[in-house]
Chains A and B, each alone.
Chain A
Amino acid sequence: MNRIDQKFRALRTLGKKGFVAYIAAGDPNLKQTGALAREFERIGVDVLELGVPFSDPLADGVVNQLAAERALKSGTTLRGVLDLVRNLRRQGCEIPIVFYIYFNLVHRYGVKNFAKEACRAGVDGVLTLDLPPEEGAAFQQTLTKAGVHPIVLIAPTTPTNRIRTLVKQAGGFIYYISREGVTGMQSKVATTIRDRVAVIRQYSKLPVAIGFGISNPKQARAVAMDGDACVVGSAIVNQIAQNGRDAKKVARFVAPLIKEVKR
């Protein structure tokens, strides 16, 4: 069974909410990303989202843009990130891993080739930022066939009939974007989350993870309660920017977030 499914099944049995951590692969370098992945697994991160660095990260705020720049500077490539996952799996690291990726990298790599290698390496899900369902159906099917879940994004502006189409292509979990805009930390959490999640639940049985703009334990708990899991990205990336070479230090920032979500 796909590691994401296993994880959410276990969480459901325990009656617990999930915690998804986003980091940019290769920031500050791939070796350190490996160390962070193992550390995150140890402290109880449920799903690790690995951003594959792209030169033009359209959907990202400045924190993640800078992280991608650092990752590219350290020589990170898609091939390198796949190798990292392969190595983690060899070392017995079983944390579910989702790639957060811009489509040009997949396009260049070759769609079929990418799906095959992602599965072989031990990637559990792929979230393609800039591939709408109208253009993405074939790719999502290729992923599904390879045993990798296509993770689908739903925005506050996504109309109900479109939610219906989107969830049909989805696997693993649904990623609900908490507010209009790009990734990045916010002081306030949007108030419309609960209603939109209710609409998603009408059409899909998949767990719903909520992200974009979540930066502290209180917000993390609040959005996790509205869905099945919360995603924290930029706030962790910010910590890596400061203490990226010390995985324990970053973990000390993440642990309280997890604790509050699981309380």
Chain B
Amino acid sequence: MAPLQELAKEYAKARRDKKFRQQVAYYLREYVGRPTPLYFAERLTRELGGAKIYLKREDLLHTGAHKINNAVGQILLAKRMGKSRIIAETGAGQHGVATATVAAMFGMECVIYMGEVDMARQALNVYRMRLLGAEVRAVTAGQRTLKEAISEAMRDWVTNIRHTHYIIGSVLGAHPYPVMVRDFQAVIGREARRQILKHEKRLPDVLVACVGGGSNSIGLFHAFLKDKGVRMVGVEGGGRGIKPGDHAARFQKGGSLGVLQGTRTFVLQDEDGQIMLTHSVSAGLDYAAIGPEHSYLRDAGRIEYSYATDPDALAAFQYCARVEGIIPALESAHAIAWVQKHAKKLGRDAIVIANMSGRGDKDVMQAAELMKL
């Protein structure tokens, strides 16, 4: 607990420090490639025959997903705190790659924990992390995906706490992590808000993003929370359908308030409080809990949550590639699946921003197998 309090204190200081903020902004601009475009998806809009669809192109960032926004912020904080070793968990591998990347750039030792199942389905990212000089440790406990990787990273952290900083990749874990990761990702929404006002001279009607732990979604939504007319939709991993063990949709059946990995939030659990198995075709959404702020905003009625099944997401994956020439990450494809389903109903006057949180290169092998390409 004491190290968490120290981190919270240091982060609160850094957040008020203009120099720190400038440093983060500098690396995001010069190294990561911000701002990302808010791209009007013209053909997608025409084909779906309804709402005007914009894509926030986080997939164009260095390393290929929004995860790098947070990795940059946290490694600068770690440096400020005098830490010499970085650890992280990863599901889809994008956060692992982002962390390995910034660790390489700042010359820090880096260990990434990844479930064995995820290492197989996201093999490309394992090679990338190794190439970047990180050690990837396979996690073989439990169902061998993101949840176990987080537990193992937390075990490492308490063991090496004095010189190690743990860069959590999503809005999860104990305070200050959910707040800190949200702040570092909120740049997505700040840019999108400015950009849509410029393009359209008005705010959008709907924001949509996929939700695993929930960092890309809260990143997009945060700047719009006070804009009452803007509807926000988080899309969870519906897996093989809403049956126990077959999905990762925490706000559907099976999800209830619980405590996992330092957070009180909605968790998929059984009646005894044991955490349930989850499934999603997308490693980044395959997790039993959701960021606590999502639970709060859901209960407050500010964000609504939906889900897309594996087949929906795979169909959207291919559709987006063929219609827009953009191969989305399987995670982001869940948001596209929602857009596909709802664009027409929303009508031509509506404006939708979907977060293209990452690109799909990492998923091509898996998709090829599943879709018999």
Cβ–Cβ contact A107 & B258, under 8 A: yes
Question: What residues on A are CB-neighbors of B159 within 8 Å?
Answer: 180-182
> Taking the complex as formed, is A253 at the interface, i.e. its CB lies under 8 A from any CB of chain B?
no
Cβ–Cβ contact B161 & A180, under 8 A: yes
Which listed residue, A104, A158, A162, touches B273 by the CB 8 Å rule?
A: A104
Cβ–Cβ contact A108 & B158, under 8 A: no
> Taking the complex as formed, is A117 at the interface, i.e. its CB lies under 8 A from any CB of chain B?
no
B272, chain A: closest CB distance, angstroms: 5
Question: What residues on B are CB-neighbors of A159 within 8 Å?
Answer: 2
Whether A157 touches B260, Cβ cut-off 8 Å, given contacts A61-B155, A104-B273, A180-B162, is: no
A-B pair number, CB within 8 angstroms: 80
B274, chain A: closest CB distance, angstroms: 4
Cβ–Cβ contact B154 & A158, under 8 A: no
> Taking the complex as formed, is B181 at the interface, i.e. its CB lies under 8 A from any CB of chain A?
no
Cβ–Cβ contact A56 & B142, under 8 A: yes
Cβ–Cβ contact B275 & A58, under 8 A: no
Which listed residue, B158, B161, B260, B264, touches A56 by the CB 8 Å rule?
A: B260
Roughly how many angstroms separate A180 CA and B258 CA in the complex, as a whole number? 27
Cβ–Cβ contact B267 & A65, under 8 A: no
Question: What residues on A are CB-neighbors of B141 within 8 Å?
Answer: 62, 65
Roughly how many angstroms separate A91 CA and B148 CA in the complex, as a whole number? 40
Interface residue total, chain B, C-beta cutoff 8 A: 29
Cβ–Cβ contact A77 & B161, under 8 A: no
Interface hits, A154-180 → B, CB 8 Å: 155, 157-159, 162, 180
Cβ–Cβ contact B158 & A182, under 8 A: yes
Roughly how many angstroms separate A157 CA and B261 CA in the complex, as a whole number? 20
> Taking the complex as formed, is A93 at the interface, i.e. its CB lies under 8 A from any CB of chain B?
no
Cβ–Cβ contact A182 & B160, under 8 A: no
Which listed residue, B160, B257, B261, touches A180 by the CB 8 Å rule?
A: B160
Cβ–Cβ contact B260 & A181, under 8 A: no
Interface hits, B51-90 → A, CB 8 Å: none
Cβ–Cβ contact B158 & A104, under 8 A: no
Roughly how many angstroms separate A158 CA and B1 CA in the complex, as a whole number? 8
Interface hits, A71-121 → B, CB 8 Å: 72, 77-79, 102-109
Interface hits, B212-256 → A, CB 8 Å: none
Q: Which residues of A contact B (CB under 8 A)?
A: 54-59, 61-62, 65, 69, 72, 77-79, 102-109, 130, 132-135, 155, 157-159, 162, 180-182
Q: Which residues of B contact A (CB under 8 A)?
A: 1-3, 141-142, 147-148, 151, 154-155, 158-162, 257-262, 264, 267, 269, 271-275
Q: What are 22 A-B pairs with beta-carbon distances under 8 A? A: A54-B274, A56-B151, A56-B261, A56-B275, A58-B151, A58-B261, A59-B155, A62-B141, A72-B274, A77-B272, A103-B259, A104-B267, A107-B258, A107-B273, A108-B273, A109-B273, A157-B3, A158-B2, A162-B1, A180-B160, A180-B161, A181-B155
Known contacts A56-B148, A108-B269, then 8 further A-B pairs from the complex at CB < 8 Å, ordered by chain A residue: A56-B147, A58-B155, A78-B273, A104-B259, A130-B262, A132-B1, A157-B162, A180-B159
Q: What 10 A-B pairs are tightest by C-beta distance, nearest first?
A: A108-B273, A181-B159, A55-B274, A55-B275, A105-B273, A104-B259, A132-B1, A104-B273, A182-B155, A77-B272
